[in-house]
Structure 1
Amino acid sequence: MPRPVTGVGRGGNSTPTEVKRLRGNPGRRPMKAASPMPETALALVDLSVVPVAPKGLGKVGTEYWTVLWTGGRRHLSELHDGPLMGRLCRNYQKIYDLEVWLGDDVTSRWYTSPNGQIVTHPAVKQIEQMDAQCTAWLSLLGFTPSDRARLGLAEIRVANELDAYRQRNSNLVDAEVIQQV
């Protein structure tokens, strides 16, 4: 008797082609063409050059533009990520402008409505919404370790003593050092 259709999938998620290539191809079935790896696809990008900031960005927006492009230059594309990066930096500029407008006085963040209730100022709500949007855009652009892993970008690690020890031991076979070519 066949199972009733419930809308629930009956299988695992498909394995990415890159993972299949690393495992080898014991079944000898044809695989899809390999997608370019970041090392080869981005080899021609000059990491020291930051794209020109869009016109209309203020001082804070321009500073964010420089910092974000410097940090993400290895995996960001001017053509594809530039417009989103521009919106992100404009959002940061607006947040800064609203913070300056509200000032340092905490009491300016609330006001009393005509019926006597204390209400959060709309600018505060707008700052919170723009901040959440900026976090989502940063995630799309791959600025957290989990997002870089999701996007398949190489992990950036600081070398430590354990890594050096593992590197030394990985070259040993039967207690003889293998020369690296």
Structure 2
Amino acid sequence: MVQLAAVAAIPAAPGTLGEAGRTAWDRLWTAGQAWLSPTTDLDVLTRLCEAHDEREAMRDQVAADGYMVPGSMGQMRAHPLLSEIRAVESQITKYESLCGFTPTDRARLGYAEVRRASKLDELIARRQQRGSG
């Protein structure tokens, strides 16, 4: 297994990214700095952030046009970009998964999920301490 160094500094965002993409870039590199590598993850992170820009542009257009728009015969129908938004959101989820941004993917990468101890966990720990002391 090859060990990659954690990201020391967030790589500069590509100049092609818009506001939503740059915001996602900073947020994702910050969140994933323990396992992301500019050497191996730069391209997929770029595509992920470009997808955020695309989603934002489509959502802005739907907001301007409304969720319902006239169809070819004048009937009201759902905005055609709504299905495109769902498609890009699905692609975003795939890119996030590739980059280890779900609990399952982080576990696959060997990064444990931090969770708060339950009352039962605390009780078991206290009993184990009493039994060993």
Question: Is residue 55 of structure 2 the alignment partner of residue 55 of structure 1?
Answer: no
Which of 45, 67, 80 is residue 122 of structure 1 equivalent to?
A: 80
Across the aligned residues of Structure 1 and Structure 2, the Cα RMSD in angstroms comes to 2.8
Counterpart in the other structure of 1:141: 99
Quick one: structure 1 residues 72 and 46, their matched pair in 2 at CA, closer, same or farther if it must change by over 3 Å?
closer
Give distance in 2, aligned partners of 1:101 and 1:84: 26
Counterpart in the other structure of 1:94: 54
The residue type paired with residue 153 of structure 1 is G
Asked if 2 retains the 8 angstrom alpha-carbon contact of 1:72 and 1:143, the reply is yes
Quick one: structure 1 residues 46 and 136, their matched pair in 2 at CA, closer, same or farther if it must change by over 3 Å?
closer
Answer with 1 or 2: which has the greater Rg.
Answer: 1
Give distance in 1, aligned partners of 2:86 and 2:7: 36
Give distance in 2, aligned partners of 1:102 and 1:86: 25
Quick one: structure 1 residues 145 and 81, their matched pair in 2 at CA, closer, same or farther if it must change by over 3 Å?
same
Give distance in 2, aligned partners of 1:74 and 1:82: 15
Within-5 A mapping of 1:14-93: 35-36=1-2, 41-42=3-4, 44-47=5-8, 49-93=9-53
- The alignment's TM-score, normalised by the length of structure 2, stands at 0.79
Consecutive aligned runs of 4 or more in structure 1 exceeding 6 Å deviation: none
Question: Percent of counterpart pairs with the same letter?
Answer: 27
Give distance in 1, aligned partners of 2:61 and 2:72: 23
Deviations 1:29-77 (A, max 9, x none): xxxxxx24xxxx24x4354x11111111111110100000000111111
Relative contact order higher in (CA < 8 Å, ≥ 6 apart): 2
Asked if 2 retains the 8 angstrom alpha-carbon contact of 1:75 and 1:153, the reply is no
Asked if 1 retains the 8 angstrom alpha-carbon contact of 2:106 and 2:113, the reply is no
Give distance in 1, aligned partners of 2:100 and 2:6: 17
